[in-house]
Structure 1
Amino acid sequence: MMADQLPLPLPARAALGREDYFIGKANALAVALLDNWPRWPSGKMILVGPAGAGKTHLAHVWAQDCGARIVAAADLAGADIPALADAPVCVEDVPRIAAQAGAEEALFHLHNLALAQGQPLLMTAAMPPRLWGLVLPDLRSRMEGTQTATLPQPDDDLLAAVLVKLFADRQAVPAPDVIPYLVRHMPRSFATARQVVSALDAEGLARKRPLSRALAREILTGLQGED
């Protein structure tokens, strides 16, 4: 008898186009602030939101709109800062460089050069600047003085749209009643949505079962038990 093969799920590939991002009441203001980038105060903005809220997605949409480059904050210490400052630029996950002297100084110089040359600067973070723990005083004051666009945790409509996208990114097709069931019963959290979809997809593949409401109930029960 041939042994059962281990499931080999395809890696999830996030769709990052504007048409792939759902805009609802919860995130409309943040999206509008990003779209208004030519009028940002001092030419800069910080996009704040919890993990899974779509910060990277919106950063790519913004970059497509204005021809920006995207760089991880953790890579700034070794980056060509004058070259980055020659065009619109997005720096992702800024809190990761807190207390890293070289990276903080690089962001400080990028901030000053970009603004001096009239190039818009977008930064992303999971928390507001006062909580970043930056050590360089001049950088900290400039970050805390930057306007923020905040992505809150999702309402029902946004949560449903996020679930649809997460399943689509995995090329997984849940039964029609799965997403309404999840919206009614799961915590309102982007991180939980990602966890639930990942677990459902993995279990469906491992057990060779359809992504049904019954399986969704099992997954939620198991996650609540872990909590």
Structure 2
Amino acid sequence: MARQLTLDVTLRDGTDFQTFHPGEQGGLTLEAVRGLARGAGERQIYLFGDAGTGKTHLLQAACHEVAEWGGRVAYLPMGMTAGGGPDVLQGWDGVDLIALDELDRMPWEPDLEQALFNLINGVRDAGGRLLLASRTAPRLLPVALPDLGSRLFWGPVFQLRPLTDPQKCQALIARARQRGFDLSPEVCDYLLRHHRRDLPSLITLLEALDRESLAARRRLTVPFVKHVLDGG
């Protein structure tokens, strides 16, 4: 169930821990974020990695997990704070989990940096939980406020890496099974060779192709996929 959050941001359906594919090196990160969401592990985690590596998925999965047992959550892509001033990071007292995405897109203005510094301190003092995500490591962010830079390292820092092509195929085949159909390796290979290669885009395409195949009452084969992608 999607839940309306700060600045008209809505959690996506299907972004749960069960649908996250960590690859060979992401299992520890997955378990750490799951533990934070369940209140059984770290209280602050910083994730970084290239686009499409699953940062947003993990942040939203944690929000879904906390919201399912009635907790209060706030999810905010920091790129949306431009022009909003420090007020967008205030008034979140009593929130059980705050997830701040896209820190690399945050406008690094003095007032907003101070507001983020105060937020991190407030979350820790109140016993809340904080998830941070960026395309860059915390030390590479253009932080001018020295004390804020140190606060970003209050919890563990995990790097997420892109999946290999075989791992992407495994993820697509698993998502297809969740939707009730089988995806052949041939179709999977075709998608990887003829579409954007990041996993979120591939999954979005797979779901669209599934809807097309249901409407046309045809199996998801390479000729059918080619027909759809060519605009037929």
Query: If the TM-score is normalised by the length of the shorter chain, which range does it land in?
Result: 0.5 to 0.7
Q: Report what 1:21 is aligned to.
A: 20
Structure 1 residues 18 and 145: alpha-carbon distance in aligned structure 2, compared to 1, 3 A threshold:
closer
Cα 1:100–1:165 shift into 2, 3 Å: farther
Amino acid in the other structure paired with 2:184? P
Say whether the 8 Å CA contact 1:160–1:183 is kept in structure 2: no
- Verify the 8 A CA contact 1:97 1:104 in the aligned structure 2: no
Q: Name 1:99's counterpart in structure 2.
A: 108
Segments of 5+ residues of structure 2 without an aligned counterpart are 1-11, 228-232
Partner of residue 181 from structure 1, selected from 189, 193, 198: 189
Q: Is the 8 A contact 2:172 2:203 kept in 1?
A: no
Q: Secondary structure at the match of 1:140?
A: helix
- Taking a change above 3 Å as real, the CA distance of residues 105 and 161 of structure 1, as seen in their structure-2 partners, is farther
The 8 Å contact of residues 75 and 99 in structure 2, kept in 1 or not, is answered as yes
Is the CA contact (8 Å cut-off) linking 1:46 and 1:123 kept in structure 2? Answer: yes
Deviations 1:136-166 (A, max 9, x none): 2221222145421222110345311443578
**1:79 is paired with a residue of what secondary structure?**
helix
- Unaligned runs of 5+ residues in structure 1 are 1-12, 219-227
- Over aligned residue pairs, what C-alpha RMSD do you find? 4.0
- Deviations 1:19-76 (CA, angstroms, capped at 9, x unpaired): 3323442321110111232331xx2111223212222221122123333523322447
Q: Is the CA contact (8 Å cut-off) linking 1:174 and 1:212 kept in structure 2?
A: no
Q: Which secondary structure state, in structure 2, belongs to the residue aligned with residue 83 of structure 1?
A: coil
| TM-score normalized by the length of structure 1 | 0.66
Change (3 A) 1:163 1:147: same
**Letter paired with 1:36:** G
* Contact 2:73–2:95 (8 Å) recurs in 1: no
Q: Is this contact kept in 2: 1:84–1:110, CA < 8 A?
A: no
- 2:201: which partner in 1? 194
Change (3 A) 1:33 1:106: same
Shift of 1:112: 0.4
* Structure with larger Rg: 1
Aligned counterpart, 2:88: 79
Q: Does 1:131 align with 2:130?
A: no
Structure-2 change in CA distance of 1:182 and 1:154 (3 Å): farther
* Higher helix fraction (1 or 2): 1
Q: Is the 8 A contact 2:89 2:116 kept in 1?
A: no
Whole-Å separation in 1 of the counterparts to 2:152 and 2:129: 14
Cα shift at 1:77 = 2.6
Percent identical: 19
Distance 1:160 1:135, change over 3 A: same
What residue identity is the alignment partner of 2:74? Answer: I
Which SS does the other structure have where 1:52 is aligned? coil
- State the secondary structure of the residue aligned to 1:30: helix
What is the total number of aligned residue pairs between the two structures?
202
In structure 1, the residue matched to 2:9 is none
Corresponding residue for residue 41 of structure 2: 39
Q: Which has the higher contact order (CA 8 A, sep 6+)?
A: 1
SS of the counterpart of 1:135? coil
